[in-house]
């Protein structure tokens, strides 16, 4: 399959400009999966909760999602995008998995970063994995990267690729996610934004890593880019790092316990 990471600067308070930027970046490509940054519909650095609310949309009547559905249909593709989600009077920092028919998956960010705690509710959808025609896809968002349990949980649930929409400002994540890909023997796809909003400057360097922890593609620090690569997602089905070492079966749960892996509900 072919995967593309979109790296650009979503604009605060300007949904149309964000849709135009996404459409322009995707136009020359023919990927099976596109991964976009965190809060791609809204921008990130809100001045207050009302500002965040004004930039949010509900899943059911979202102009942004309708446009991404049209792009997915035109490209015969799946799209993972960060999304400022309104659910009645609550806001969530969410990620949506979109195909031509609508939203095929929804994840709400578990680990809120800095001022996000003033605007968003903590995620309440758990860590689902979505079985699609192109593979089994899990989703995390930005600061979720700090918690290895999240990556391992998705991998144990069968995720072949973990899409990771991000608005990173710290300099660490892009160096860490290849290690998560290696220890879980799955692909990791971090789509980070660029630019500056208020007092925040984002670090770009979107990165795709393979099951051996190799960086397949990596973006610049400050340029809008479409970053694409061909991957064999079926390689993530094998958890053997040697002929006699299986990264899940060799775990010593009798010593350090096990993660409580439930269903995707």
Spatial separation of the C-alpha atoms in residues 214 and 239, rounded to whole Å:
16
38 assigned to active site: yes
Spans of all domains in the chain: 2-256
E strand or H helix that includes residue 18? helix 15-26
- Catalytic residue (one of 57, 75, 116, 142): 142
57 assigned to active site: no
Mean pLDDT, rounded, of the chain: 96
Spatial separation of the C-alpha atoms in residues 170 and 201, rounded to whole Å:
9
- Residue 20: both structure tokens together: 């135009």
Residue 265 pLDDT class (50, 70, 90 cuts) = very low
Digit-coded pLDDT (tens) for 178-230? 999 999 999 999 999 999 999 999 999 999 999 999 999 999 999 999 999 99
Return the SS3 of 145. helix
- Catalytic residue (one of 75, 109, 116, 136): 109
pLDDT of the residue at 230? 98
What is the CATH code for 2-256? 3.60.110.10
Q: Are 195 and 43 in contact (CB under 8 A)?
A: no
- Residue 119: both structure tokens together: 């605007």
Give the CA distances from residue 150 to residues 29, 62, 110, in Å, rounded to whole numbers and listed in that order: 31, 28, 9
- Residue 9: both structure tokens together: 């600067």
Handedness of CA 95, 22, 198, 42 (dihedral sign): negative
* pTM of this structure: 0.96
186 assigned to active site: no
């Amino acid at each position: 399959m072919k995967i593309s990471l979109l790296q650009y600067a979503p604009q605060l308070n300007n949904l149309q400009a964000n849709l135009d930027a996404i459409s322009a970046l995707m136009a020359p490509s023919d990927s099976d999966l596109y991964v976009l940054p965190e809060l791609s519909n809204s921008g990130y650095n809100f001045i207050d909760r009302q500002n965040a609310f004004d930039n949010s949309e509900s899943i059911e009547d979202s102009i942004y999602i309708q446009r991404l559905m049209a792009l997915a249909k035109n490209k015969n593709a799946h799209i993972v995008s960060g999304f400022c989600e309104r659910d009645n009077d609550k806001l969530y920092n969410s990620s949506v998995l979109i195909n031509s028919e609508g939203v095929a998956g929804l994840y709400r960010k578990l680990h809120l970063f800095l001022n996000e705690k003033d605007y968003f509710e903590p995620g309440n959808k758990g860590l689902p994995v979505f079985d699609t025609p192109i593979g089994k896809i899990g989703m995390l968002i930005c600061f979720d990267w700090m918690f290895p349990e999240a990556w391992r949980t998705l991998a144990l649930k069968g995720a072949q690729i973990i899409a990771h929409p991000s608005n990173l400002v710290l300099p660490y994540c892009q160096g860490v996610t290849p290690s998560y890909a290696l220890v879980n023997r799955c692909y990791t796809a971090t789509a980070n934004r660029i630019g500056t909003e208020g007092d925040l400057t984002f670090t770009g360097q979107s990165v795709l890593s393979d099951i051996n922890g190799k960086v397949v593609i990596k973006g610049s620090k400050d340029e809008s880019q479409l970053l694409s690569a061909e991957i064999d997602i079926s390689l993530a089905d094998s958890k053997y790092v040697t002929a006699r070492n299986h990264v899940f079966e060799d775990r010593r749960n009798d010593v350090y316990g096990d993660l409580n892996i439930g269903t995707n509900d």
